[in-house]
Amino acid sequence: MKIAVVILNWNGKQLLEQFIPSVLEYSPGADIYVADNASTDDSVNFLRTSFPEIRIIQNRENGGFAKGYNEALAQVNADLFCLLNSDIEVTPGWLEPFRDIFADNPEVAIAQPKILDYKNKEYFEYAGAAGGYIDMLGYPFCRGRVFQHLEKDKGQYDDTREIFWATGACMFIRRQVFESLGGFDKDYFAHQEEIDLCWRAKNAGHRILYAGQSHVYHVGGATLNNMNPKKTFLNFRNSLFSLTKNAPAGYVLPLVFMRLVLDGIAGIRFVFQLRFRHCFAIVRSHLSYYYHLKNTIKKRGKSNKTGHYYVIKSVVWAYYIASVRVYPKLVKD
């Protein structure tokens, strides 16, 4: 099985300098690509000079995570893509579990490793942790991370198991599946496009796995941190996109209505916290959602949308009202 590790870069010369060496050292047999999203720093020249063995793909514009990867992966010849953030340190043997998983399980389309915090390596990291799920209203959470609460890694998630979504920070996906799904939805630009892709894969009958035998360390927020209102805008809008596109027929309207109400409550909370730019970001996210609504509805397609996609009705209620902070107390496996 031919594996291509593809790192999307935008003005990330320092990150490449810091993390590319581990990828080269610990990825034997894999082709390493850097897809540059029209960087204005010296990233490309640095790569050519310092790491001539890396294959470089130069996108014409910064189309964000979604469009950037779509354009880059169309130029990569491999059986299995690994989409890897530029701020990730990989570890010895990180690829081996996935060689076995995809070779032995043809129904598995997507997978991810354990994601730990580069700055605090005993703890899980926000973006993906030990595999992702969503609640009935489409709010994402992970084993090892529920909203802002991060668990310490004590080996409690060293298993291999089916999940609902795999993180785009380190996602393995079969090329054939990526192409059959039409890649990422470029309207997302960035954030939660991997949840949409995984939801579409689930609707098409594919399986998604987490492999705790492999682990990587993620800096997180290196491109856009949680304090940036743009991230608030993208997360709120894109979550509405995913519900509208992928939720079961007959449930979309009430689900979206409830999300809009809860978004309004979140906006009021931002006001009381004096975070006015984040409140305005939610308003803008709704306006952008309405602007794209007609086109979003057209994307629902013909895939099966009757499956039980959620594992809990409301992670918001559990976290903020019932004070449940960890996955095992949220979901009884």
CA–CA separation, 23 and 51 (whole Å): 11
Cβ neighbours of 273 (radius 10 Å): 10
- In DSSP notation, 189-200 reads -SSSHHHHHHHH
Tokens of 277: 């730019």
pLDDT digits (tens, 9 = 90+) for 270-314: 999 999 999 999 999 999 999 999 999 999 875 556 567 999 999
What DSSP element (H or E) covers 250?
none
pLDDT of residue 220: 83
pLDDT digits (tens, 9 = 90+) for 142-153: 999 999 999 999
pLDDT of residue 39: 95
Q: For a pLDDT cut of 90, what percent of the chain falls above it?
A: 92
pLDDT of residue 204: 92
pLDDT of residue 302: 57
Task: Please state, rounded to an integer, the average pLDDT across all residues of the chain.
Answer: 94
pLDDT of residue 333: 77
pLDDT of residue 270: 95
pLDDT of residue 227: 73
Domain-wise residue ranges, the chain:
3-218, 229-330
Q: What is the pTM of this model?
A: 0.94
pLDDT digits (tens, 9 = 90+) for 8-61: 999 999 999 999 999 999 999 999 999 999 999 999 999 999 999 999 999 999
pLDDT category of residue 190 using cuts at 50, 70 and 90 = confident
pLDDT of residue 154: 97
pLDDT of residue 186: 95
Tokens of 235: 């997360």
Rg, Å, the chain Cα set: 19
Averaged pLDDT for residues 221-238: 80
pLDDT digits (tens, 9 = 90+) for 170-189: 999 999 999 999 999 999 99
Cβ neighbours of 53 (radius 10 Å): 8
- For the cut 60, the answer to whether the pLDDT of residue 225 exceeds it is no
- For the cut 80, the answer to whether the pLDDT of residue 106 exceeds it is yes
Domain spanning 3-218 has what CATH number? 3.90.550.10
CA–CA separation, 315 and 326 (whole Å): 11
User: Between vectors from CA 205 to CA 199 and to CA 208, what angle results, nearest 5°?
Assistant: 60
